[in-house]
Amino acid sequence: MNYASILKCDIANGPGFRVSLFVCGCARKCPGCFNQSAQNPEFGNKFDEKAKKKIFDELSKDYCTGLSLLGGDPMSKLSDIRKEIISLCREVKEKFPDKDIWMWSGYDFEELMGDDTAKDVFEYIDVIVDGPFVEEQKDVDLKWKGSSNQRVIDVKKTLVSDRIILVD
């Protein structure tokens, strides 16, 4: 898996001060995507132990509230992204159980839940912003999402409910 960047003290992608990992690879290639360079799975740097250490160093700080996973698409079927994201999420929750994990994906929650190679991530993430970016539905006033078709889903509450629970 490659990544485009790791942001420290990010306040735009989830609540509080976060560390954000922008993975590379997205087959959807939504028109108007804010991060088109990260659609290419070969772009950026190889995600290695040095990159993981950078994330863990940030997560160990008291003021850091959690990890945000964006892209590209962390659930892309390209390359080995899903496997590495699930492994990273597992390790983050083991080392930092009080930190939350937010993830943005162009796939719908229901689609990911029906996919055996993807649904394991829901054991570890707290919130998913799902659905493709739709340029015609772009709204800069939306909280945590780029277009009005996307949903901000509380994964933990949704998994124990019979319906999708949205984050306010």
Instruction: Indicate the burial class of 62 (C-beta count within 10 angstroms; 0-12, 13-18, 19 or more).
Output: exposed
Q: Can you say whether residue 79 is alpha, beta or left, with left for phi > 0 and alpha for psi between -120 and 50 degrees? A: left
Does 78 have pLDDT greater than 80? no
The correct answer on CATH 3.20.20.70 for the domain covering 2-159 is yes
Mean pLDDT, rounded, of the chain: 93
**Which residues lie below 8 Å from residue 126, measured CB to CB, with a gap of 6+?**
66, 100, 101, 102, 154, 155, 156
pLDDT of residue 65: 98
C-alpha 108/C-alpha 90 separation (Å) is 21
pLDDT tens column, 104-135: 999 999 999 999 888 899 999 999 999 999 99
**Which residues lie below 8 Å from residue 53, measured CB to CB, with a gap of 6+?**
none
Domain residue ranges of the chain, discontinuous segments joined by +: 2-159
How does residue 92 score in pLDDT terms, banded at 50, 70 and 90?
very high
pLDDT tens column, 6-18: 999 999 999 999 9
- DSSP lists the bridge partners of residue 19 as 67
